[in-house]
Chain A
Amino acid sequence: MTLDGWIQIALFCAVVLALVKPLGLYMTRVFTGVPTPLSPVLGPVERGLYRLAGIDADHEQSWLGYGLAMLAFHALGFVLLYAVLRLQAVLPLNPMDQAAVAPDLAFNTAASFVTNTNWQNYGGESTLSYLSQILGLTHQNFLSAATGIALAVALIRGFARASARTVGSFWVDLTRCTLYLLLPLCAALTLFYVAQGMPQTLAPSVAATTLEGAQQTIAVGPVASQVAIKMLGTNGGGFFNANAAHPFENPTALANVVQMVTIFALGAGLTNVFGRMVGDERQGWAILAAMMLLFVAGTAVTYWAEAAGSPVLNGLGLTGGNLEGKEVRFGIPASALFAVVTTAASCGAVNAMHDSFTALGGLVPMLNMQLGEIIVGGVGAGLYGMLVFVVVAIFVAGLVGGRTPGYLGKKIEAREGKMAMLAVLCLPLMMLGLTALATVLPAAPAAPANAGPHGFSEILYAFTSAAANNGSAFGGLTGNTLFYNVTLALGMLVGRFFVILPALAIAGSLAAKKRVPASAGTFPTDGGLFVGLLVGVILIVGGLTFFPSLALGPVVEHLAGAAGQTFATGG
């Protein structure tokens, strides 16, 4: 580890923290309907959309109506994306003559993008037409991100309101988030990325003759506009197969930092929106403190493990840490940091191959996802996931203290506790259940590229990433088979919607409750004790659930590697 590495990590945290308040203020305005500096331009567009769609902007929905609207919107979006992928061969903007995407791969990819997972069973430049990239994928990047943010805002309203029957209008939240927040930021980011060297063109691949006289076909395309939303919306699906490790998708160290900051920006800003809307910004900072505590700990472990290097490389007398699967322009610290950021949020973009990380360096990204990506988390998804854990933590505190648990003046009762546990339990069911299935079914053993415990890690990582809607991979696993296309899609859909619906139910039931004034017996939720309790509950729930599976994969691999053991495939 180097001082410069730690300075880069500290700088990243400082920039993210500095953005929390301004972004929080702006987003609060957007979602409470206060005019913004962009309103004179975008206001007419917004009202035109409502008129066209027959939406009354002042009509709010109950939690169930909000959820049904979201489901209807996603069902149609799924069909549209599936159709574009299947028909890309006959649609325009296909200069490289890509064939139609196979049915199971199209199903997997549609599920992947609608759920904000962006798992890449497709190889971007070798499978998809430009139309599929922009009309199919870029628009779902926007809309799934806007949906996540909208849902978080609905849940915040549940905490903020009292004796209310509604949690907002899904249509208004979706439209305002897309128009006022995502589009303007992405337009600015796109231009910055192009200036850094990212292509943005509809021209076909370039044929180059190398200095040694060989032919090199260089894939280009409308990259920057997709990367801007892929990061800001924590989608993570790459234009290219190698994702943000590809020099066109991440050309410079500066572009790399900006990408990492934009992964965290909106998720971190939402904690401030939460604080502002419940009328006490410290409540938001307390939640962000719990997130950052877990984040810094994870970063330290991964950076240490990657800088210490792998036993195989060190055994050959090579020094400088584990560079297999990493790019020279980023080096060890910026690659380790990126891996933790992308899995703490539900982004899933990668600037280095996680499959080639050291055993412990790869364990942290896996654990980040298994905890439910509540460390800043996916845009929106991170906050509502964290608030679900807050409900559990408050419930536990109430049991320990023998009082009726309450949060922000709302009593947390059996119904909220049950809904929170439902959301918390569906993730391990998908992650561990499907991993178990894949390891015993005869369809699976051919899929991992690596032998021994690392092969098991590849399978575990895949289902963890899918159910957590992350989308990063231990890329050696051959995921583009019927079995994996279908099971991974199932994991993604359940992992998204079976967390969203209980979270919305909590929102509805909290909004309906009366506010109880704080008294001497109220447990303060803006101090260090609460942060410690929350982190403790997260680690205990996550640790108890996932330790056995992690022991079988990364932990065994670490011990075997330290003893000098390697594993050969086919042996």
Chain B
Amino acid sequence: MLTHLRPALVLLVALTGLTGLAYPLAMTGLAGAIFPAQAAGSLITRDGRVVGSSLIGQSFTGAGYFHGRPSATTAADPADPAKTVPAPYNASNSMGSNLGPTSAALAERVKAERDALQAENPGRPVPIDLVTASGSGLDPDISPEAALFQVPRVARARNLPEEGLRALVTAQMRGRTLGLLGEPRVNVLALNLALDDLARR
């Protein structure tokens, strides 16, 4: 075993330096030079302030905005740091609900959300992505159906014609990558920024 000590020690230190320091630091420098926007987190600024990242969902609750998917992220309870409280779209503690397919808690949560959405837009089927929590709790997207489903509510709240809003949603739809990969989607933050621009004009 002792004959192995020198090669083990030297290789560990040298390869650690190479793969654990040189590689990530060189990549950080290179990525920052070639793709500065992406390397910093695809941040969006408005009037000189960072309003979010185009890849990270954020919480929308007002009737005048399109809403994202339910988020199961939590944060430390300010009253008792040992406990956690729900904090949707907490971008420093990503997580899903981890509720299983026969969980009573899941059934209750989904039913409550479905009923609330159904009341908002009776007669249309509730899109499933609007009542299921995403894996990361930070899903930036919803399905095109989920965006169109919310048009009547946003139109009422903003006093805008539904037709114009539907055109806005259609303009924000993104298809499958290369026509094949993934699913069609709408980025909620981009849609709401476009909505705010529309109102400003």
Residues on A lying within 8 angstroms of B by beta carbon are: 4, 7-8, 11, 49, 52-55, 68-69, 72-73, 75-77, 80, 123, 125-126, 134-136, 138-139, 141-143, 171, 174-175, 178, 182-183, 186-187, 190-191, 194-203, 205-212, 214, 216-220, 222, 224-226, 229, 240-242, 245-248, 251-254, 256-257, 310-313, 315-331, 334-335, 350-353, 355-359, 449-454, 457-458, 474-476, 557, 560-561, 565-569, 571
Contacts and interface: CB of A to CB of B under 8 A. Distances in A.
Contacts of B61: 212
A220 to B, nearest CB: 4
Interface in B89-137: 89-107, 110-111, 114, 125-129, 131-137
A321 B143 CA distance: 14
Contacts of A324: 96-97, 99, 101, 106, 110, 132-133
B157 interface: no
A324 B100 CA distance: 9
B94 A178 contact: no
Contact of B55 (A8, A123, A251, A313): A251
A72 B42 contact: no
Given A211-B193, A218-B91, A194 B38 contact: yes
A335 B105 CA distance: 23
B81 interface: no
A313 B132 contact: yes
A265 B132 CA distance: 33
B167 interface: no
Contacts of B193: 211
Given A191-B27, A476-B98, 6 more contacts: A54-B7, A178-B15, A211-B193, A219-B92, A315-B107, A324-B96
B177 interface: yes
Nearest to A96: B92
B40 interface: yes
A143 to B, nearest CB: 6
B164 interface: no
B135 A350 contact: yes
Contact of B125 (A207, A246, A319, A321): A319
A171 B11 contact: yes
Interface of B: 1, 4-12, 14-16, 18-21, 23-28, 30-32, 34-35, 38-43, 49-62, 65, 69, 89-107, 110-111, 114, 125-129, 131-143, 176-178, 180-183, 185, 189, 192-193, 196
Given A171-B7, A225-B28, A209 B50 contact: yes
Contacts of B20: 134-136, 138-139, 142
A18 B169 CA distance: 40
A557 B100 contact: yes
A76 B8 contact: yes
B49 to A, nearest CB: 6
8 contacts: A138-B19, A174-B15, A178-B18, A310-B101, A324-B132, A454-B101, A476-B98, A557-B102
Contacts of A75: 8
Contacts of B139: 247, 327-329
A568 B100 CA distance: 11
Which of A256, A327, A350 has the most chain B CB within a 10 Å cutoff?
A: A327
Given A328-B141, A569-B105, A68 B1 contact: yes
Contacts of A329: 139, 141, 182-183, 185
Given A183-B23, A212-B65, A321 B128 contact: yes
Contacts of A245: 94, 96, 134-136
A222 to B, nearest CB: 5
A170 B91 CA distance: 42
Given A199-B38, A566-B102, A351 B31 contact: no
B93 A187 contact: no
Nearest to B52: A208
Given A53-B11, A195-B38, A454-B100, A313 B128 contact: yes
A78 B52 CA distance: 39
Given A142-B19, A246-B138, A353-B97, A218 B10 contact: no
B135 A218 contact: no
Given A216-B58, A353-B98, A312 B107 contact: yes
Given A183-B23, A205-B92, A222-B28, A242 B101 contact: no
A75 to B, nearest CB: 8
B103 A312 contact: yes
Which of B11, B12, B52, B178 has the most chain A CB within a 10 Å cutoff?
A: B11
B56 to A, nearest CB: 6
B33 to A, nearest CB: 11
